[in-house]
Amino acid sequence: MRDHLAGSASVDHVSSFRQALGSSQKECAAALELVEQAAEVIRDLQDHAIEVEARALDLVNRALERLDLAEKRIQSADAERRAAEAALLKVNLGQQEVEKALKRAESRIAVLEAHLSAAEARAITAETRASEAENALVRIENAIRTRILGTRREASGEAAVVA
């Protein structure tokens, strides 16, 4: 529009406008001045609009760059979260395996403790029986000695009486 107003065609239109009105030279000059002022305002508005558009475009580009950076950060954080979840799952599975092994070991220990208690009871019973057998053996030995000695005394006493 600026080019259109600045061109010679616009001056011709203004001149013919001036002649058509049949106004005085001063009125035409004033009208022409107003048209030039309006053209200057329009140029200023266009320049300002171009500057605003450029700033807006720059703001949009910077916002898009920040958005892209934020999306990359989100993706990175999401990847780290997934890796942490996978590691946690692995740890949980390992913990479950350890817990199962511990339960199996505790069960084996309980069985072995039961076997040990039974073996101790058998050992105590065996010791008691061995002690009783030993006592019985001592009584038998004493009885045998007593009988043998008694038989010898009788035999010695009869031999002494016969002599």
Q: How far is CA 21 from CA 24, 27, 66, 119, 132, in A?
A: 9, 10, 60, 135, 154
In this prediction the pTM is 0.44
How far is 24 from 33, CA to CA, in rounded Å? 14
Window from 3-12, 91-100, 135-144, 145-154 with minimum mean pLDDT: 3-12
Give the chain's domain count.
1
- Would you say 28 and 18 are in contact if contact means Cβ atoms under 8 Å apart? yes
Flag whether 25 is in a domain.
Answer: yes
Q: List C-alpha distances in Å: 43 to 2, 29, 32, 34, 51.
A: 6, 21, 16, 14, 12
pLDDT value at residue 5: 46
In a domain, 131, yes or no: no
Q: For the chain, first and last CA: distance in Å?
A: 176
Q: Is residue 134 included in any domain, yes or no?
A: no
For position 148, what pLDDT does the model report?
Answer: 83
Establish if 148 belongs to a structural domain. no
Quick check: 133 pLDDT over 80? yes
Residues in the chain, overall count: 163
146 is a domain residue: no
Q: Print the domain residue range for 52.
A: 2-126
Q: 153: pLDDT confidence band, cut at 50, 70 and 90?
A: low
* Residue 41 resides in a domain: yes
**153 found inside a domain:** no
52, pLDDT greater than 90: yes
Is the residue at 143 inside a domain? no
